[in-house]
Amino acid sequence: MTTHPALDDEQQRLDRSYAVLGDDAPDRPLIFGRVDDAGGSRYVGRLEVRDDSGDPVVIAWHSPEAGAFYQACATDPAGVTLKRVVTVSGRQVIAVHDEIAGGAPADVSPGRDNRPVVGKVVVAALEQFRTGTIAEATATLRPEQYRIVREAGDGVLVVRGGPGTGKTITALHRAAWLAAHDDGVRSAGLLLVVPTPALRSYIGDALPCLGVDALTADIASLYGGPARRRGRDTKAEAARVKGSAVMAMVLRRLVESAGDPGTPEDLLRQLYGDPSLLERLADDLLKVGQRDVLYREPAASADDEPWTVDDLVLLDELSHLLGHAPPRYGHAVVDEAQNLSPMQARAIARRCRNVTLVGDLECSTGPGKHDSWSELTSYFASEAREATLSLGYRVPRPVVELSRRQLPDGGTLDLAQSLRDGLGTPLVRRVDPGDAVAVAISAGEAAAGTGFKVGVVVAPARYDEVLRYCCSAGIKAGDGRDGDLAQPVTLLPADQVSGLEFDAVALVEPAEIGDDTELGRRLLYVAMTRCTQSLAVFHSAPLPAGMEHLEGPAPSREPEVEHRPRPARTEDLVDLFKLLRDDDRMLVEVMIRRLLRDSLERDED
C-alpha cells in the first residue's frame, strides 16, 4: 500500500501501463523515470507502451522524447521542472527520487569538498552490494554519458576515461542505442567484443535486458574454426610477437609459399614447429629472439595444440588469407580496447567498418601498450573521433589516491571527480612469509560474510598455486579466469581483472604483481581500481614502489595482549580489537567504517 502522494500518482501510471500490455507485460518494471517540462509530463521505461488510441503511456529510454530526462541534471536543469527516478519492486512503486523539482536541484548529494553534485539516487545505486554482473544504470545515466551513447554510429569513436568512469555502462547503452536507431546495425547486427571470458561473464545479459540481440564475444571466440583456446603464453614476449602487425606479412608469405595450404591450423602448426621455415619467411621482419619465442613442438594433433588467444587471432587472419570471409556486422563496440594487439584490431576491422573503442591506455595490461589511440585506430578504415568520461563512479577516493602512485604522472583518474568515499584508507597487513594467500582468502571470506563480493587478486605466475591451495583446503572460491564470478569470493590473476568490479579487493603480495616493470605497475593499478568499497593488501615481501610508505612492522607471533586483564572500558576496546585474528579484525573494521559513514550521512541530512 502506498502513502506518499507522488508514489500514488506514479503507481497509477504504472498500473495503467500494465493494464495496456496485459499478458504481454515483461517481468521487469515498465517505468523507471518521469520528466516534466514545457512539453508536459512523460514517463520513461525500457519499452514504449501506447494505449488503444495510440497515445504514449510510457516512452522508451532511447526515444528522442526521453532526451530531456537524460540531458537535464541538478546543476543544469535545462528547462526541466521535474526529473524523477521511480523505483519499482514487482509491480509496486516503492520510492521516488527527484534530482530536479520545481526546476531546481532537489534530492541531490551534498556538494562538500568540491564533489560533483549528482542525484542521491546515483549515490544510492553505487552503495548497493555488487552481484557479480554489471549493475543496471539506465535510470541514472548522466548527461555526459548520454551524449556519447547518441553519437552517430559511422566511423570510429574512441571513448576514454579512467577506471570506473562508466565506460562499460556507456558502451552497453550505446550498443542498445545503435541497435534501435542505426540502419547498418538494424540490418547487419552488432558485435560486442570484450577481452576475457571473465568480462563476458560480468557483462552477462546486460544487452538482452536492454532489448538488444547482439553477439557478445571475447577475442578468443571470434575465430569460427575448430581450434579452441586451451593454453596461454607464459612468456609475454611470445604474446607480443604474435600480436604485432608484422605477423600479417609473415602469414601472407606463409600462405603464398604453401603448395597445398590445408587448414589455418595446419599452417600455423608448420610455422611454429619449423624454425627454418620461419627464418625463410621472416628473416627481415623478426629478430632471431622474436622467432625463437614462436617455436613450439607440434602436438600430436591440431586438437591437442595449446592454442592461446593470440594463436586464435592468427588463425583468424590465416582463414581470411585462405579466402574465408568472416561474418560482417553493422557496428562493433569493443570494451577495454586499450588491450587490443594490432592483429586483434585487424580481426575486428575485418568484421566491421564502424567501431566504438572504449578504454584507457593507462590500464593496458596486454603484452603491448599503445602510446596513443591513433596508433590503434590506424588499423580501422575511418578517421577517429574521441570522447572522454571523467566522473569516477567506482573507486573510493583513498584508493584513487594510492593507486595513482603506480602511474608516472598520476594517471587520468581525478580524485576531485570521485563520487565515492568507500570504507576509508586501504588496509595493509604484513603477514608471515608464505601466509599471504591464506590470510587474504580468509579475510575475503569474512568480508563476504557481510554481503560483500570479494576479488582476491594474485600475480599471474602464482594463480595455479592459489587454485590448488583452495582445492586442497576445501575453500569454495570462484575461478575468475574461467568467468566464475558467482561465488562470494572470486580468485583472479592480475592480468584478467580488466573491466571487473568487486565491493572489496584483497591484493596478495603486490610486489609480485608490480614487479618493478611498467607493465607490472599498470597491472597493479588496474587490480587496485577494481574495488567499490575497500582495498586490503596482504604481504610478507617488501611493498612495491608507490606503497612503500605503508610498510608496517613485522607480524608478532606472540599476542602479548593475551596476558592483559580483561578489557572492560571503552578505551580498552582497542586492546580487545587487537586480540582478534586478522580476518575477524578486518570484518569488524569494515562494519565500524560502514556505521560511521552511515551516521555521517544521517548528520548531513
373 binds ligand ATP (CB under 6 A): no
Q: Tell how many helices (H) and how many strands (E) occur in the chain.
A: 23, 19
169 binds ligand ATP (CB under 6 A): yes
> Does the annotation list 165 as a binding residue?
yes
> Does the annotation list 90 as a binding residue?
no
Residues 180-239 that bind ligand ATP (CB under 6 A): none
> Does the annotation list 79 as a binding residue?
no
164 binds ligand ATP (CB under 6 A): yes
> Does the annotation list 168 as a binding residue?
yes
163 binds ligand ATP (CB under 6 A): yes
| The only residue of 34, 167, 405, 539 in contact with ligand ATP, by rule CB under 6 A | 167
The helix/strand/coil state of 581 is coil
456 binds ligand ATP (CB under 6 A): no
- Spatial separation of the C-alpha atoms in residues 87 and 489, rounded to whole Å: 29
499 binds ligand ATP (CB under 6 A): yes
Torsion of CA 336, 339, 340, 343, to 10 degrees: -160
413 binds ligand ATP (CB under 6 A): no
Q: Grid coordinates standing for 59? A: 516512452
> Does the annotation list 453 as a binding residue?
no
Using CB under 6 A, which of the segments 17-25, 165-173, 376-384, 441-449 binds ligand ATP?
A: 165-173
What's the min distance (Å) between Cβ of 171 and ligand ATP? 7
455 binds ligand ATP (CB under 6 A): no
Using CB under 6 A, which of the segments 50-58, 140-148, 482-490, 560-568 binds ligand ATP?
A: 140-148
Strand order, beta sheet including 190-194: 215-218, 190-194, 331-334, 355-359, 156-161, 384-389
Q: Is the backbone of residue 239 left (phi > 0), alpha (psi -120 to 50) or beta?
A: alpha
DSSP state letters, 141-188: --HHHHHHHTS--SSEEEEEESTTSSHHHHHHHHHHHHHHH-HHHHHH
- Spatial separation of the C-alpha atoms in residues 93 and 137, rounded to whole Å: 18
Q: Which residue has the cell 543544469?
A: 76
DSSP state letters, 319-332: HHHTT-PPP--SEE
What's the min distance (Å) between Cβ of 408 and ligand ATP? 19
What's the min distance (Å) between Cβ of 195 and ligand ATP? 11
Angle between the N-to-C axes of helices 309-321 and 246-257, in degrees from 0 to 180, rounded to the nearest 10:
50
| The only residue of 142, 200, 420, 429 in contact with ligand ATP, by rule CB under 6 A | 142
Q: Grid coordinates standing for 346? A: 585487424
Torsion of CA 511, 517, 519, 524, to 10 degrees: 20
What's the min distance (Å) between Cβ of 511 and ligand ATP? 23
Q: Grid coordinates standing for 542? A: 617488501
Residues 383-412 that bind ligand ATP (CB under 6 A): 393-394
> Does the annotation list 308 as a binding residue?
no
What's the min distance (Å) between Cβ of 143 and ligand ATP? 10
What's the min distance (Å) between Cβ of 316 and ligand ATP? 25
> Does the annotation list 45 as a binding residue?
no
Please give the residue ranges that form the binding site for ligand ATP (CB under 6 A): 122, 125-126, 134-135, 137, 140-142, 145, 161, 163-169, 360, 393-394, 499, 501, 529
